[in-house]
Amino acid sequence: MQPAPGKAPGGDPPEASLAIERFLIASKKPVLMEAGEKPFAVSRETFVVTLRGNWVVIECWDARRNLSRRVTGIKLEKPGRLELEVERFGQKDGTLTLADLARGSNQHLAKKGERLKYREQFRESLYRQFPDWRVSAVSAEQDLHNSFSPGYPRAFLRRGNTGLAAIGAPAVEEGTSKGNAEAALSFGLIWLDYLRRREPRVAVEGLVLLVPAGHEHALCQRVRLLNENVAKYAVFVHEGGSIGQPNEQQVDPNDYTNLDTRLEAGTQERTRFSSREHFSPPDAEVVLESKIRANIEEIDATLLPNPVYGQIPHFAGADRGRMDLLAVDRDGRLAVLELKVDQDIHLPLQALDYWMRVKWHLDRGEFAARGFFPGITLSNELPRILLVAPAMEFHPTNETVLRYLKPEIPIERMGIGIEWRRELKVVYRPPVSLWPSPFSDKSSKP
């Protein structure tokens, strides 16, 4: 059915009422949505349509909220979806959407409604926390070209010639990953870098992150390993899964030093990956891990072919779903190998998660104490990080994120040839950054 262009006050108020009635009769799971608000479930007990002269008035409510709008026209009518033009408080125009969530084509609408609600809450939090700044460019729209995710609203804060990038992480939704908060850092750094290129006349000094309380630990551990000579960082947490209330609190990432990690006795070289059974052979990353184990000197000639350990240390309570290897070079220096066969925006920071745990156990002498690398004296040097993937499968933003890490962290990209299943060969190895050290003493190191 084509959109109905007529406006109710101008001619036929009953038509809007009839369109709503048609929608309700045909729907099995109707909801009412308005941008920036949580959807209302629609039922006979919570939804009323009234004709008042030349107006159609919609009223809907639940245990905590109520909504009343005058309908001024029908914007779109099609099976399972009805968009209404309405007049909001203060005679402002708006749109209400009635959608049947029983239709698969409408599943994205509920998620979009939640994202729009969170975007407005995010905006309100920024106004509260940065009252002297102008908040602009608030968006939760997807932008594939610039790698902006719709799940993480972003904003640009400006005060004179100074600017800040800001990004928010929504509360963890039921049935979704618990990694929303830490994943926000990758998208935040991408947004920060984009604004610095887009606003050459503004000193975009750093990044503001707003995340749910209780989920900030991994994020703060990552933030501690960013180069503060390149950008400044501020982390805020909000309680109760909502940032719509004035309950945000700034936290200090340096207070988050304890790692959730364990190191079991290294009794065998080929430690099994904890979720290997979830892969359906031949899984590409399993094959790549096997190839690298058998030919690790092709990745880096300084690495010893034995022993090579897999997926240690363990992330307590976590299933990372990717391969990590831990090797040692001829000087006794540890090397973390993070393997990926497809593009992944989060690859650098996920490797950093594993690396900081390896360093944690190394600093405490636990590898030797638990039987790892027998007969080898391990060096106290910072472990190396080798990101290994097909040369064309590094995500374009990986290099951007790497520029924001502390230069003390020795991290390299190792691009292997496209025919790696037949022959493992490094074809791309850009030089390690030679930035000057921001550390003045040993205690400042990560």
For the ranges 94-98, 251-255, 381-385, the lowest mean pLDDT is seen at: 94-98
Verify that 217 and 297 share a domain, yes or no: no
Q: What does 50-99 look like in DSSP terms, one character per residue?
A: EEETTEEEEEEE-SS-EEEEEEEEEEEEETTEEEEEEEETTTEEEEEEEE
- Report whether pLDDT(152) > 50: yes
Which residues form the domain of 96? 8-102
* Residue that terminates a domain, selected from 212, 238, 255: 255
Q: Does some domain include residue 3?
A: no
- Together in a domain, 217 and 278: no
State pLDDT tens for residues 298-348.
999 999 999 999 877 765 444 444 458 999 999 999 999 999 999 999 999
Q: Please report where in the chains the tokens 């908040």 appear, as a residue.
A: 135
Residues 306 and 378 in one domain: yes
Q: Which two tokens stand for residue 356?
A: 């900081």
280 is a domain residue: yes
Q: d(Cα 301, Cα 425) in Å, to the nearest integer?
A: 12
**Under 8 Å CB-to-CB from 314, ≥6 apart: which residues?**
261, 262, 263, 264, 274
Q: Are residues 333 and 209 in the same domain?
A: no
What's the average model confidence in pLDDT over 389-405?
94
Q: Is the pLDDT of residue 18 over 80?
A: yes
In this structure, the answer to whether residues 49 and 84 fall within a common structural domain is: yes
Name the average pLDDT for the chain. Answer: 82
More confident residue, 174 or 218: 218
The domain spanning residue 240 has which CATH number? 3.40.1350.10
Tell me, what CATH number does 388's domain have? Answer: 3.40.1350
Residue 412 placed within a domain: yes
Token pair 């990044």 is found at 207
| Domain match, 145 and 249 both | yes
Contact criterion met (CB below 8 Å) for 95 and 83: yes
Instruction: Look at residue 278 and tell me whether its pLDDT is greater than 80.
Output: no
What percentage of residues in the chain have a pLDDT greater than 70?
80
AA identity, residue 137 = A
Does one domain contain both 130 and 70?
no
Could you give the strand order of the β-sheet that contains 30-34, starting from the edge strand earlier in sequence?
40-41, 30-34, 92-100, 81-88, 66-78, 55-61, 47-52
Torsion of CA 9, 11, 17, 20, to 10 degrees: -90
**Is residue 1 a part of any domain in this protein?**
no
The predicted pLDDT at position 269 comes to 45
In sequence order, what DSSP letters do the residues of 261-297 get, joined into one string?
Answer: EE------SSPPPTTGGGS-SS-HHHHHHHHHHHTHH
* 3-state class (DSSP) for residue 441: coil
Highest mean pLDDT among 35-44, 64-73, 102-111, 382-391: 382-391
In a domain, 69, yes or no: yes
Residue 93: its pLDDT value, please?
81
Q: How much is the pLDDT for 335?
A: 96
Domain edge (last residue) among 203, 231, 255: 255
Residues 125 and 22 in one domain: no
Q: Indicate which CATH number applies to the domain containing 77.
A: 2.70.180
Q: Which of 76, 102, 128 is the last residue of a domain?
A: 102
Could you tell me if 351 and 325 are in contact, meaning their C-beta atoms sit under 8 angstroms apart?
no
Tally of domains within the chain: 3
- Split at pLDDT 50, 70, 90, the class of 7 is very low
| 2 found inside a domain | no
Domain-embedded: residue 148 = yes
Residues 277 and 414 in one domain: yes
Q: Are residues 114 and 230 in the same domain?
A: yes
pLDDT of residue 63: 83
In this prediction, residue 14 has a pLDDT band, given cuts at 50, 70 and 90, of: confident
Residue 193 within a domain: yes
Q: Are residues 55 and 163 in the same domain?
A: no
What mean pLDDT is predicted for residues 154-169? 95
Q: Are residues 157 and 58 in the same domain?
A: no
